[in-house]
Structure 1
Amino acid sequence: MTERVTRALLRDVPLAGVGTLALLTLDNGEGPRVPNTFGPLGIAELTAALERVRDRAESGEIVAVAITGKPFHFAAGADLHQAAALAGSRESAAAIARAGHDAYRILLELPVPSFAYVSGVALGGGLELALSCRYRTVSSQVRDIGLPEVSLGLVPGWGGTYLLPRLVGIETAIEVILTNPLRQNRRLTAARATDMGIMDRCLEPADFLVESIRWTAAVLRGEETVTRTDHTEPTESTDPIGAGWAEAVRAAGEQVRARLAGASPAATRAVDLLALASRGDREASYAAEEEALTDLLTSPEFAASMHAFDLTTRRARSPLGAPPAELARPVRRVGVIGAGLMASQLALLFARRLQVPVVMRDLDADRAARGVGYVAAEVRALVDKGRLSEAQGRRITSLVSGTTDPADLAGADLVIEAVFEELEVKKAVFAEIEPFLDPTAVLATNTSALSVSAMSGQLAHPERVVGLHFFNPVAQMPLVEVVRTPSTDDAAYATAFAVARGCRKTAVAVADRPGFVVNRLLVRLLGEVLGSLEEGTSVADADAALRPLGLPMGPFQLLQLVGPAVAMHVLETLHADLGPRFPASPGLARMVAEGAPFVRFEGRPSATSPVDPEIARFFGSRAGTGQAPAELLRRVRDALAEEVGLMLADVVAGDGDDIDLAMILGAGWPFHLGGIIPYLERTAG
């Protein structure tokens, strides 16, 4: 593969009353949408540029060095495709790890102050480049800052595991290096990175470079100071590691073992590197990073992660089966039927991302008011966290209103229902609302499993009905399953994709088949686990069985999140449509009847949220020896393989890659498994 070389363009900037600033601008010449990345040639280019400015600094020609990127992109680190090409050679893999350290070490050892002006995306080696500078400014519009390597089967390999904890403390470093990548690869915003102490100044984007240079001059003149907490010394002099540091790393290691059960070597290696960083020996840490990165670049987990990475970047940008974008109708007003939690989340999403008026309609005024109140409270929280300005918050809140009158939805270009998951209820809602709408308005359903065709069959204009299945929680989950019926016309279908794109979601086209992709596979998985409980498997063994997959939550945590009643309803729906592969669960029915919580968690459950072993009582005392965790995992794999095969035969999605993409984005299927189909193929037999 030909490397897209990122150049380091050098120019001098005079600073009044101070001297000359050497400014290096990173640019691969591919325009603002293509991120700057570093392959072997790019790293060599950067090294040569840094050597030149070092020589000038040593001769007294310059008083400071600054590095910035092009608009919207600072640097996205190593070129992953170039890195993947090194997978067969340990020598080549070690060379790229070493080259990054050699380049960044120059920055760390410059005889003059160094500055990073983070103009856009700063991920992986890009953030490590900024960390290697003494000071950092960031444009307030930047939303992609982080060290995502662990999610890709790697570790931060160009200084991140040493520099970050010593800058911001071990607990914050653990959040950035381990917690965020393992939670669907969360990124930091400019405001959050500044609050954490990763960035020193957050500046407005309109004049970001000018203001960064002005701030640099003020720092050099002593007019601006940067105060940092000292994280370079142990917390207790009697402990060479530091009690707080050691305890934080120990707890992180336990979380990684409980969550991944050894499925991702990268996370374990990252924990070890964070422990080593406390010793304060930079060269020892860099040598260990190089060894870990070499091992991981040549591992099967990285190869699998690259398949997942390609799906979530290249495939996600060009959905298979999507109609031409120019066929989409403009959406200038949205109606949401319902004002419960899901409907309220959708209303907030549309108002925030589409910036159009949103009307929520429910059966009584109190419910509608609660929905509008939910949106206002969520917006207030975003403002308080610095993710929205006061003006932005006021605008979004003003766009959302509530009503009980279906006539108030007239004039909406898109109306989406998010009411109870019952076919007859949804049919009645559509029948009631249709007479008030323009014939070209798109009618959408957020159903997670029901037939969209059945909902639209009795309407006067079934051609404008689509499925738009958003996932809960709506703000965080990146997937939308777009469902087309035999009657759906191209304009309505194209509008559905345009709405998903406008909401910054990834759309996957799915057929109008029960459960679509994600819920069909998750319910099959859940059904096998519950069936195993019915046969005598212990709750502890069932809870542990799927941990080697590294899923964001186990079957019981998932069941608690969606609610046993909803899960049972979907299971019954799939049983009615797809047969005995989705058997009824008497134990689940008893859980619904009792309604007691069985997973303890705060906020959102995770794979390690404790499960009450007493839920075994719901499943009776039927005879049976049960299954050990390894046996149950094999049973689940076999069931998923069967279901995927049937879905491919039935063309539920365009191809296997779309099934993989849907599971990665809709179910949190881990990158290191490389998609559900490659995983099932590797573990077959």
Structure 2
Amino acid sequence: MSIVSYELNGDIGIVRINNPPVNALSHQVRKGITEAIEAAGTDTSRAIVLACEGRTFIAGADITEFGKPPQSSSLPDMLLAIEASAKPVIAALHGTALGGGFETALACHYRCAMATARVGLPEVKLGLLPGAGGTQRVPRLAGVEAALDLITGGNPLPADTATRLGLVDRVFADGDLLAQAIDYARELVAEDAPLKRVRDINIDPQTAPAELFEGYRKKLAKRARGQLAPQHIVSCIEAAVTQPMDAGLQTERQLFIECMQSPQSAAMRHLFFAEREAAKVRGLDRDTPVRGIRTVGIIGGGTMGGGIAMNFANAGIPVTLLELDDDALQRGLGIIAKNYATTVKKGKLTEAESGRRQSLIGGSTDYRDLAEVDLVIEAVFENLDIKKQVFTKLDTVCKPGAILATNTSYQNVDAIAAATARPQDVIGLHFFSPANIMKLLEVVRAEKTAATVIATAMKLAKTIGKIPVLSGVCYGFIGNRMLRYYGREAQLCLLEGCTPEQIDTAMQNWGMAMGPLAVGDLAGLDIGYKARQGLSEAEKGDPKTYAVADMLVEMGRLGQKSGAGYYQYDPETRARTPDPAVLEVVEQQAAKHGVKRRLFEDEEIVNRLIFALVNEGAKILEEGIAQRAGDIDVVYVYGYGFPAARGGPMHYADSLGLKQVYETVCKFRDQYGAENWEPAPLLERLAGEGGTFAAWQK
């Protein structure tokens, strides 16, 4: 069957698209649709139905064509041909109609959809804006505020919501979509229904005053800090109010090209592909069998264990939560109930669905209740000896073939696996807090982990809505190993002359979701303090890198939970304010360690923290702890609040040029000493060769 075909069904012309897997709008598809619309204009058809084969309507543009010379028909040209048809064109939607796919539907005169269909314009997530009329047609149909929310958010809408907004005209509960779309087309013909061209709709300027757009710009400045595309989307939607349709389309096209050519979009498109690559395990046969995971056990009912349990319950997988005693178990189940109640309160879940999910989580204080589960995840205190004891116990009670996973953030998974007689069944599954929300999952492959266990873990991550990244075994794996050096530089900058707010503001202005010291307060300064107590002096490293943090904890300043850490916190709102007492601690510790304080520029703060990440990332890459540079980027964007518009630390370094990064690291080495700033061998080599992290393979 051809990619685009056209046929007559009585007096209805049918344009079918068959471009698997997602019917992307490739050059051939655009050309085929344009030619089919032209053919229908000269035959006996009275209306035209545009439909897709396979599992979905057009799910978007062909992203592989981005950055390449345009080929006709362009998407805007194709849409103008549809819109200009003298016969009504009806889009029949199923699956997902996204991006250029939804813009195609919007250019049609009518839209019908299965109730299960979803529509949206997700371009903002690639640092782009809809470039084929989406910003002009959606506000004309749905209103300005709905358009702002939909297009700057980038999230798809279910068909019933789209219908309420006027974006879809008819919804079918079930049955054959094409047959019902043809019947709908005949109904429109019989009624002599008008050609509803969206361009003919004018927006009343009084419903969208300038203050509305200004307020939205301010909101986006906080929500999407430093991002170009969201602000340009507001400008495009404003043009839909203030300019005629064709002028608005020109504004949209101009700003689309500006976004397309920006480093931000390049970074976000890099992430799009990196996320998909991260799910692929090099050297693992695609036919590797996976184990069925029908029931799960979780050991430890604290905040992390409860959050992990919710992931499986949300996916319909029954969970047994194990705790030491009934009091601890009830506390754990209480945490879960509170989390679900919050979700219900926000309107993201119904009471009935919350109850159904909670019914999938049972509790126990007896290891024998884990005898038949398919997967056990240990989420106890971050202590190697305790974890080894847990796995020794699991070895005696779990059935053969059960996967035994540790949620450790730092500990040696090989040592944990050695505590069992089945190391081939042991793997690390490092969830990020809050585990029921954060999308990243580090899958840690131990030396003896079986291929089938790795394949199962990578597939399971998708089942529970996570983005998996494979890591080898080392202290801290990918993310926390690198974070140690990021935190080191934050602490040293603090001693050398910065205030906490200067460091945090510099990093936030650069694009990080939160500054490093504010993150420490959020997580709890006592966590790192307790972890250091189990380390030798050599393992702790330079005392200057934790002297301030330790002193604050010993003063009872644990962060937000105690009302004070690097900042003072309002007990009601948790709003933070600088605290002169902290600066006194910093100055005392600087004097104690012989550090002379000085003034800092924000650029130095950013470079020291980010290049510390990059330098350690280069070592991780060369050691084979990470499979590819893009995997490191995915870890940092989805697990640590690294700005997506920068593409992750390794992409950011590539975008600057590794020669520049290497020279800056060498400058820091000469200024601060080789102990902290010896350039990674891979960074030095690639800088000399003119290479990139993205192109390098071990």
| TM-score above 0.5, yes or no | yes
Of 286, 297, 319, which aligns to 1:335?
297
Aligned residue identity for 2:18: D
Offset of 1:216 from its aligned partner? 5.4
Of 136, 139, 160, which aligns to 2:114?
139
Whether 1:242 and 2:216 are equivalent positions in the alignment is: no
Q: Is the 2:507–2:514 Cα contact (8 Å) retained in structure 1?
A: no
Of 654, 659, 665, which aligns to 2:627?
654
State the Cα deviation string for residues 9-35 of structure 1 (Å, max 9, x = none). Answer: 333445xxxxx443322222x3xxx22
Matched with 2:405 is 444
Offset of 1:393 from its aligned partner? 7.0
The within-5 A match list for 1:610-621 is: 612-615=576-579, 617-619=581-583, 620-621=585-586
Aligned residue identity for 1:25: R
Matched with 1:418 is 379
Offset of 1:40 from its aligned partner? 3.5
Partner Cα separation in structure 2 for residue 471 and residue 175 of structure 1: 28
Indicate how the Cα distance of structure 1 residues 497 and 153 shifts in structure 2: closer, same or farther if over 3 A, else same.
closer
Partner Cα separation in structure 2 for residue 343 and residue 352 of structure 1: 14
State the Cα deviation string for residues 264-303 of structure 1 (Å, max 9, x = none). Answer: 4333332321221221511011111222233343444444
Aligned residue identity for 1:233: I
The within-5 A match list for 1:31-110 is: 34-55=21-42, 61-86=44-69, 92=70, 99-110=74-85
Whether 1:550 and 2:520 are equivalent positions in the alignment is: no
Indicate how the Cα distance of structure 1 residues 27 and 567 shifts in structure 2: closer, same or farther if over 3 A, else same.
farther
Aligned residue identity for 2:77: D
State the Cα deviation string for residues 327-379 of structure 1 (Å, max 9, x = none). Answer: 433323211112233323322322343x4432111233354345556667777
* SS of residue paired to 1:618: helix
Partner Cα separation in structure 2 for residue 41 and residue 213 of structure 1: 25
Partner Cα separation in structure 2 for residue 187 and residue 518 of structure 1: 30
Partner Cα separation in structure 2 for residue 378 and residue 344 of structure 1: 9
* SS of residue paired to 1:415: strand
The within-5 A match list for 1:242-641 is: 242-243=208-209, 246-258=210-222, 262=226, 264-313=227-276, 315-322=277-284, 326-353=288-315, 355-369=316-330, 371-372=332-333, 396-547=357-508, 549-556=510-517, 558-566=519-527, 577=539, 579-580=541-542, 583-587=545-549, 590=552, 593-597=556-560, 612-615=576-579, 617-619=581-583, 620-622=585-587, 624-641=597-614
Q: What is the aligned residue count? A: 635
Offset of 1:447 from its aligned partner? 1.7
Q: Is the 2:122–2:153 Cα contact (8 Å) retained in structure 1?
A: no
Aligned residue identity for 1:22: G
| CA RMSD in angstroms, aligned pairs only | 4.0
Matched with 2:639 is 666
Matched with 1:17 is none
Aligned residue identity for 1:131: L
Offset of 1:636 from its aligned partner? 1.4
Offset of 1:466 from its aligned partner? 1.0
* SS of residue paired to 2:5: strand
Partner Cα separation in structure 1 for residue 111 and residue 547 of structure 2: 56
Matched with 2:128 is 154
Matched with 2:150 is 176
Indicate how the Cα distance of structure 1 residues 493 and 7 shifts in structure 2: closer, same or farther if over 3 A, else same.
closer
The within-5 A match list for 1:156-235 is: 156-180=130-154, 186-190=155-159, 193-194=162-163, 198-204=167-173, 207-214=176-183, 232-234=202-204
Indicate how the Cα distance of structure 1 residues 235 and 662 shifts in structure 2: closer, same or farther if over 3 A, else same.
same
Partner Cα separation in structure 2 for residue 375 and residue 644 of structure 1: 35
Moved more, 630-639 or 201-210: 201-210
Offset of 1:133 from its aligned partner? 2.9
Q: Is the 2:49–2:89 Cα contact (8 Å) retained in structure 1?
A: yes
Of 15, 18, 24, which aligns to 1:27?
18
State the Cα deviation string for residues 118-148 of structure 1 (Å, max 9, x = none). Answer: 21222211121122234433334446x4322
Offset of 1:510 from its aligned partner? 0.7
Aligned residue identity for 1:77: G
TM (norm. structure 2) is 0.79
Aligned residue identity for 2:231: T
Structure with greater contact order relative to length (CA < 8 Å, sep ≥ 6):
1
Indicate how the Cα distance of structure 1 residues 43 and 131 shifts in structure 2: closer, same or farther if over 3 A, else same.
same
* SS of residue paired to 1:138: strand
Offset of 1:391 from its aligned partner? 9.2
State the Cα deviation string for residues 76-100 of structure 1 (Å, max 9, x = none). Answer: 33222212223xxxxx4xx77x932
Partner Cα separation in structure 2 for residue 534 and residue 396 of structure 1: 48
Partner Cα separation in structure 2 for residue 674 and residue 363 of structure 1: 43
Indicate how the Cα distance of structure 1 residues 317 and 490 shifts in structure 2: closer, same or farther if over 3 A, else same.
closer
Indicate how the Cα distance of structure 1 residues 648 and 317 shifts in structure 2: closer, same or farther if over 3 A, else same.
closer
